[in-house]
Structure 1
């Protein structure tokens, strides 16, 4: 995403924002249970038009929250929520750019970022703040693009415009500010590899493995090695974008999804290679894919690709589904990323 450098007015930010804080709780069936008996998990979106994270019913092909509020299983916005007031969400919560679901010490968390500075680890379903910060609140100088929580409770943040990966000592408390950082041009993706005990970080042109050294209170990032991303045209930037674990491949067999400006790959850590030997590659591999992820139970894959004629050039109203092909539509939406709700 190339977020605009303009700073919307406070009034403009507040218009259209509904469901502040934890919003609507998921139903009794729970996020991991089969939707309508079909075994499909809910879908979580970064919905930038209404400035919310939405978890939506996978049994509906068309989501229209205005006409059908039941389509929304859960929603989050920090605007108007006193637990996040110090992060100035009226100005920092612009263009939510990530929605990851993670399990940490027996609890489920939403990891979310926004281009104008907001970073939060939000406990589901109540919206309690595990940790949060605002990096350069009110502008896109840093452009937080994704986050990851580590086993010790610390939180890494990739800042694409800021060209850096920061590791915050979030284990010290919900307002902890201490951090270490490492440079990475166009930092977009992060994934903690439990098997190899490295933090993978993806930038414009390379996938880097960082060792986390030091202590939880004073962590350090040590660059271990890097692999160049595949390029469509020699001499051009690969434009690395999304980095996400391939679900259902545990241990040493684990792989990661990788999207670039021109294509979609899986990264094989054992051979340090980028491959396209996965099922459904013929329909999944294409240009401009902003996110990708699979559901190991059904084999279905979700992706998003921008569509023309919307409020921003990186928005879409469509979540593409593969294996078999299909789609979800969000009425009036400005979707950036979509992921299956799969706490991991």
Structure 2
């Protein structure tokens, strides 16, 4: 059941707005578009519409005993306040939340119970999201919270937000978008959009606000209703309030009216198709003339309104609150964060690549004093840029690999000045190519690791034996595969670490031939392990400041520099707190010290030149 504030206030907000539907000129329907889900709080079922034919299909969903739901869970469903389809490794899932209290994950399209939670109906749960780690985020208006539930352990984390109406995961910035009304019902009421960082392991989640992304949507009672991903532009969101529909630019932090027809009042939900077509639910009570559902309450509609091309589809007797495009993706493409690249040495920062779409970076120094940086642009491949001994950066960058599917890269220089680059292609393993000293990159690469489960890679060369090491992290833990600088690789890899929750790895060597591996877990703890060409230590050491801490934040990425220096320089990117440094020359590790306060720092690299100069790099986000 939906509960909301004064209808008179809403009517005042939307009065004077044109409600004439005008379709965007550039949008067109596509047969590849997804089906539409709509929750009917009259029949207490979710229905599915084929937008290509405007026909309601035979598929419906409601929790039943046959689908594995308890009596209390069944009683907590009145048609659904929100629902989404998401891809998971185990198959597609339907996630549903209801104002009567039910939050659930079910198989799709079968609808069988996978996980469920029942809250008091007085919480008025309004929005739901399935997180990439399998946990569930719920926003409750009257409960005044956003809560992430661990589906594996039963633990949860809560963020207080009055009139919380929306929860949407954003893979581009790795944040949970939420919206609500702090000060609800008082003179201090505002409507806000916030981004929350989900911390900790899946079994013990935490929530922390990213204050740099907080955006006041309005001052007053123009209550926010829905936040939705724009399936055409990964840097945009759709936002609806009582009186308006906006697009929100994540890069500029600016709100813009959504355009004629789409920008109207009383829109309870907005959802977009890959073709650009938009579907909205607008409360019938506020339409002119009022729709059939307007005589029942002030929030429902029997009609789904489409724009680009424009049409309306009505289900007689329905009381729809929301309709959702059944898109299993979070956005256009579920990409990681990205931005421009800066290099810092001696306290001076230089932007070395202004392309705002760079998603990963790696660097190495060679024996003649040059610095080599790899930049990875999703959809465009891997590019290489060199800083000469005179300090000048190569312009333009050289494309070293045109594969559009690369998600991670590593680079290392051997003592003879040859460059060895590695690229990770999900499902296809790790590929390798060489750039001889003074030459050009090889025109082709070869597969050196066929593992389909790898998510992060690092590389290091032993300066004494000139043995190459490729470190891979993924669902099988961390493994080490060795090869010669001539490109001959071992057919098997050595198991280094059985931890399957490694988010990022980096490696370095010291002049004595000692190898050092650093790994950050999914919950932000950093571990250090030593090894050589034949073996690695059986246990890893936890570094200070490597876990969740108000002082140092949660580590999201790391890089390390070693040879030719006799010390290790570890650089960690800590969520929302910038880039931190730890220097080790034996003995105990010191506490991390912040070297760059940029809260938007993403990936990092570290390399020390032969003259002792330490270069650190970062991607600074645009979203």
TM superposition score category, shorter chain reference: 0.7 to 0.9
SS for the counterpart of 1:96 is coil
Aligned partner of 1:89 in structure 2 is: 74
Using the alignment, how far apart are the partners of 2:159 and 2:71 within structure 1? 26
Contact 1:109 1:122 in 2 (8 A): yes
Using the alignment, how far apart are the partners of 2:216 and 2:223 within structure 1? 9
Displacement of 1:113 after TM fit?
A: 0.8
Contact 2:145 2:161 in 1 (8 A): yes
1:182 paired with 2:159, answer: yes
Aligned partner of 1:286 in structure 2 is: 264
Aligned partner of 1:47 in structure 2 is: 40
Match of 1:108 among 92, 96, 121: 92
Aligned partner of 1:3 in structure 2 is: 3
Match of 1:305 among 282, 288, 291: 282
The C-alpha deviation readout for 1:212-245, integer Å capped at 9, x for no partner, is 11221111101111534433xxx51331110111
In terms of fraction of residues, the more helix-rich structure is 1
The C-alpha deviation readout for 1:167-197, integer Å capped at 9, x for no partner, is 1011x1xxx5321101011111111111211
Using the alignment, how far apart are the partners of 2:59 and 2:110 within structure 1? 10
Q: Which runs of 4+ in 1 moved over 6 A?
A: none
When residues 236 and 177 of structure 1 are mapped into structure 2, their CA distance, relative to the original with a 3 A threshold, is same
The RMSD of aligned alpha carbons is 2.1
1:200 paired with 2:177, answer: yes
Which structure 2 residues correspond to residues 28-177 of structure 1 after superposition, within 5 A?
A: 38-61=31-54, 71-81=56-66, 83-85=68-70, 87-90=72-75, 92-105=76-89, 107-136=91-120, 139=121, 141-170=122-151, 172=152, 177=154
Displacement of 1:39 after TM fit?
A: 4.3
When residues 343 and 310 of structure 1 are mapped into structure 2, their CA distance, relative to the original with a 3 A threshold, is farther
Using the alignment, how far apart are the partners of 2:136 and 2:2 within structure 1? 24
Using the alignment, how far apart are the partners of 1:230 and 1:88 within structure 2? 35
Using the alignment, how far apart are the partners of 1:79 and 1:152 within structure 2? 26
SS for the counterpart of 1:83 is coil
In terms of fraction of residues, the more strand-rich structure is 2
The C-alpha deviation readout for 1:47-97, integer Å capped at 9, x for no partner, is 111101111232444x5xxxxxxx32421101444511154312x112510
* Structure number with bigger Rg: 2
Aligned partner of 2:409 in structure 1 is: none
The C-alpha deviation readout for 1:151-176, integer Å capped at 9, x for no partner, is 11111100111110111011x1xxx5
Contact 1:321 1:327 in 2 (8 A): yes
1:212 paired with 2:198, answer: yes
Aligned partner of 2:243 in structure 1 is: 262
TM-score (norm 2): 0.44
Contact 1:104 1:151 in 2 (8 A): yes
Contact 2:127 2:165 in 1 (8 A): yes
Contact 2:67 2:111 in 1 (8 A): no
Using the alignment, how far apart are the partners of 1:81 and 1:336 within structure 2? 26
1:227 paired with 2:220, answer: no
Displacement of 1:333 after TM fit?
A: 0.8
Using the alignment, how far apart are the partners of 2:170 and 2:33 within structure 1? 26
Displacement of 1:206 after TM fit?
A: 0.8
SS for the counterpart of 1:89 is helix
Gap runs ≥5 in structure 1: 5-34, 64-70
Using the alignment, how far apart are the partners of 1:324 and 1:132 within structure 2? 38
SS for the counterpart of 1:242 is strand
Q: Which has the higher contact order (CA 8 A, sep 6+)?
A: 1
SS for the counterpart of 1:105 is coil
Using the alignment, how far apart are the partners of 2:266 and 2:66 within structure 1? 34
Contact 1:229 1:240 in 2 (8 A): no
TM-score (norm 1): 0.78
